[in-house]
Structure 1
Amino acid sequence: METHDIEPENWLAKTTPAATIVIFRRDWAGGAAQLLLVERNASLKFAGGATVFPGGKVDAADRALAERLVPTAGLDHEDLAARVAAVRETLEETGLVVGIEGVVDGAIAAQARRMLLEVEDLALVLEAFGWSLAPERLVPFARWWPKHRTERIFDTRFYLADLGTGAVDIEVDATENRHMFWASAQEALDLAEQGKIKIIFPTRRNLERLALFTSFEETSAHALATPVDTISPFMEERGGERWLMIPDGLGYPVVGEPLESAQRG
């Protein structure tokens, strides 16, 4: 994004920490792993109408829970708070339980979701259902921080999680999102090319990277072997045309596209 959009000293003041989770399930037909995607309501200011992965802002309750867990989790506070947010947002938005140890079935997950929507604190839900957080089950994949936007700067950590067979029910939250579906990374890219879904620049780059692999195991092995450096998109002139770019060497097969075609949220 244009380097003159915002003064560097204002990056932190305008930044909101966030977390996104790429949830895998095996394809019952034996094809590439499927990913859970959500279509955001068109009325939302950020990425309205776009298809994205589940996730959202890190809130105060996420930070408080992370603060209590840091000594035993072996992770820094910001990373752990983002993982807490990813687990919470997944349960709120989709009804799926990931990153949790304890007894879970469809009925229990539905009860936990209802409670979470009421109390808005994952710690209280963990206590009520006798669960414990298992942050190590979330595999770090990427970190995107577009520092040069004029507003709504999100420092977003991306994680991977596995549902295995994925024989579970999902239900859209009907507030921020209007539709949820499962698709392989390549299928999602094909839908975007056909104009059936809208994907923003970071989602497109991440889907292209995810499409290199066919399973959660392959993708997580790649993620663990690839450094998670902060990605801040930047502008570059190519043949007299402005391109939106990301740094090379971070596991992405495509590192840019013409600004004219880039959906920036």
Structure 2
Amino acid sequence: MANDPQPADGIPAATVVIFRDGSEDGPPEILMTVRSKTMVFAGGMAVFPGGRVDDADFELARSVQGELPQDETAHQIAVVRETLEETGLAIGLVGEVTAETAAGARRRLLETEALAPVLEEFGWTLDFDQLTPFARWFPKNERIPRVYDTRFYLANLGTGAVDIAVDNSENTHLFWTTAKGALDMAETGEIKLIFPTRRNIERLALFGSYGEARQQARDIPVRTITPFMTERDGERWLEIDADLGYPVTGEPLESVARG
């Protein structure tokens, strides 16, 4: 994996695209959540599970022995914590992980707001091999005070025979859909997508399986993506570089959903 150094002034965040097998040999499904309209960032938008990297994530990262840099470890810890908190799913963990223990761990996490005591209480250990770095987006904008530098990861549930439940605070709805299904929902107005989410879903729609997505993620080194403005036939466009694995690299600024 190749990551650029942490850009200045970005709020560190992490999010994960969770796959499960589709029905009847169809394309895989991905888990999405609709954020509460009261949220400052991406309120009312459909996004992937995730959130800000907390101080406790960095603290836990300092105690983890492994090959990853501490900064990257903290981001992956945030993915594990946020996924458990927002969805009830235990990913990136090994030990006695069942529906019952995951539910108990989620309750404990909501009490402690940190993953370390949860790991200790349930006898779990972190397994970062379950997470594959996929992308990194940092839409710098001096006019926006809260700009997130977000790392995206992939994870796989296989059959997906698990329960999910909304957290009723930051999110209002959780749902499984194919990438194409999410794009269709956006076209009909059933969900709203901010620019990075739409571009990532278009990229995910290229793949017929989790294995294909993971392979492309491994083949294309992760570089920080910062959208930029261009002009086409007198119209302003928001775009990204063309060599990052995305089939669509821009859209007219007037059509970009504001998060």
SS of structure 1 residue aligned to 2:19: strand
Paired residue type of 2:30: L
Q: 2:115 aligns with which of 110, 122, 128?
A: 122
2:246 & 2:110 partners in 1: Cα distance?
Answer: 36
Shift of 1:22: 0.3
In the alignment, which residue of structure 2 is the partner of 1:23?
18
In the alignment, which residue of structure 2 is the partner of 1:262?
256
Contact 1:73 1:135 in 2 (8 A): no
In the alignment, which residue of structure 2 is the partner of 1:6?
none
In the alignment, which residue of structure 1 is the partner of 2:33?
38
In the alignment, which residue of structure 2 is the partner of 1:195?
189
In the alignment, which residue of structure 1 is the partner of 2:137?
144
Shift of 1:13: 6.0
Paired residue type of 1:234: F
Contact 1:186 1:211 in 2 (8 A): yes
2:87 & 2:199 partners in 1: Cα distance?
Answer: 23
SS of structure 2 residue aligned to 1:222: helix
TM-score between both structures, scaled by the size of structure 1: 0.93
Alignment partner of 1:236 is 2:251: no
Shift of 1:240: 0.6
Paired residue type of 2:151: R
Q: 1:172 aligns with which of 152, 166, 169?
A: 166
- Runs of 4+, deviation exceeding 6 Å: none
In the alignment, which residue of structure 1 is the partner of 2:240?
246
Paired residue type of 2:12: P
Contact 1:14 1:152 in 2 (8 A): no
1:32 & 1:73 partners in 2: Cα distance?
Answer: 34
Q: Supply the RMSD in Å over aligned alpha carbons.
A: 1.2
Alignment partner of 1:106 is 2:99: yes
Aligned-residue identity in percent: 57
1:58 & 1:208 partners in 2: Cα distance?
Answer: 26
1:91 & 1:129 partners in 2: Cα distance?
Answer: 14
In the alignment, which residue of structure 1 is the partner of 2:42?
47
1:168 & 1:41 partners in 2: Cα distance?
Answer: 24
In the alignment, which residue of structure 2 is the partner of 1:61?
56
2:180 & 2:145 partners in 1: Cα distance?
Answer: 31
Shift of 1:44: 1.2
TM-score between both structures, scaled by the size of structure 2: 0.95
* Structure 2 runs not aligned, ≥5 long: 1-5
2:51 & 2:148 partners in 1: Cα distance?
Answer: 9
SS of structure 1 residue aligned to 2:34: strand
